[in-house]
């Protein structure tokens, strides 16, 4: 079996059998195609792959100064592909299982203060439709801890203002319903009813996306790249030295929830974490929580 032929079948398996998101599938394919591109063999057979192929790939990654977390993920992609090939009996063994992954770096998520959240959120010019949209996006991030990919995928039918809830499709296409704060709900309603939004529809002669909540200046669904770029623009306008991304807002609200008494199981559900161990990292991040726990536990505090 040719590598590329098996890769095509693996893509279909991920999409239609495993029900993986397009983002997940894209990452798998990027890793596997990168591995394939280094082999200099247009008709590479699966059975021809040896330890030396995998080790040369690792050398390439280390030469690029890839982080151990990145190397770990790429090796994981290769192992998943190898397991798929073994299950289909295209190979009888794989060298990838003889290669050890590097130890993961234990890094804690970075968070910002509530004052910095307010500073960033005050930057968009809400007198314009796009500025109003960007403030609305920020409020929703901090309200629900939603992922960037989940936010841009939101449709109007996913938002329920009466119950103050949104329905999101997370990793693995798993749906969850999230509460929305009164503040974020008001911003969302006003954005969806914004008069310039309807003027925009007329200008584009009905070409505006009727389903998406968040639109770009051409009336199409906004992309993750655009949201990231807008965040960096507002960051430069502020006096905040830290690099703030949408994902950092997600880490921040999770930590603030914890500091204000929300239990880990609820935070896990809200964030859409598969394992509780992923959520417990916020107990190590919160300096406030550590101090409170120390003061309560120490007999002489």
Active-site amino acid positions:
147, 171, 247, 250, 273, 282
CA distance 301 to 299: 6
Phi, psi of 182 (to 5 degrees): -60, -40
Crossing angle of helices 224-237 and 246-259, in 10° steps, is 70
DSSP per-residue string spanning 244-290:
--HHHHHHHHHHHHHHTT--HHHHHHHHT-SSHHHHTHHHHH-HHHH
DSSP, collapsed to helix, strand or coil, labels residue 90 as: coil
Tokens of 273: 């974490």
Per-residue DSSP letters for 165-185? EEEEE-GGG-EEEEE--HHHH
Phi and psi at residue 107, to the nearest 5°:
-110, 140
């Amino acid at each position: 079996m040719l590598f590329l032929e098996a890769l095509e079948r693996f893509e279909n398996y991920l999409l239609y059998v495993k029900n993986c998101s397009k983002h997940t599938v894209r990452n798998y394919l990027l890793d596997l195609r990168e591995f394939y591109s280094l082999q200099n063999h247009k008709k590479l057979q699966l059975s021809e792959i040896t330890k030396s192929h995998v080790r040369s790939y690792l050398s390439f990654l280390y030469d690029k100064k890839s982080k151990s977390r990145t190397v770990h993920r790429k090796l994981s992609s290769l192992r998943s592909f190898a397991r798929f090939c073994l299950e289909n009996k295209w190979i009888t063994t794989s060298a990838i299982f003889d290669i050890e992954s590097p130890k993961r770096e234990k890094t804690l998520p970075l968070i910002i203060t509530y004052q910095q959240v307010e500073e960033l959120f005050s930057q968009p010019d809400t007198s314009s439709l796009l500025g109003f949209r960007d403030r609305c996006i920020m409020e929703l991030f901090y309200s629900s801890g939603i992922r960037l990919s989940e936010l841009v995928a939101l449709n109007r039918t996913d938002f329920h203002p009466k119950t103050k809830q949104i329905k999101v499709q997370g990793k693995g296409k798993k749906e969850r319903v999230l509460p929305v704060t009164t503040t974020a709900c008001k911003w969302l309603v006003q954005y969806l009813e914004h008069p310039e939004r309807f003027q925009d529809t007329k200008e584009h002669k009905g070409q505006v996306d009727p389903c998406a909540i968040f639109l770009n200046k051409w009336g199409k669904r906004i992309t993750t790249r655009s949201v990231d770029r807008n965040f960096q623009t507002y960051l430069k306008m502020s006096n905040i030295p830290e690099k703030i991304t949408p994902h950092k807002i997600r880490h921040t609200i999770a930590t603030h929830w914890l500091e204000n008494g929300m239990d880990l199981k609820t935070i896990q559900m809200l964030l859409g974490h598969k394992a509780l161990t992923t959520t417990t990292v916020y107990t190590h991040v919160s300096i406030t929580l550590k101090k409170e726990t120390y003061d309560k536990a120490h007999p002489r505090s």
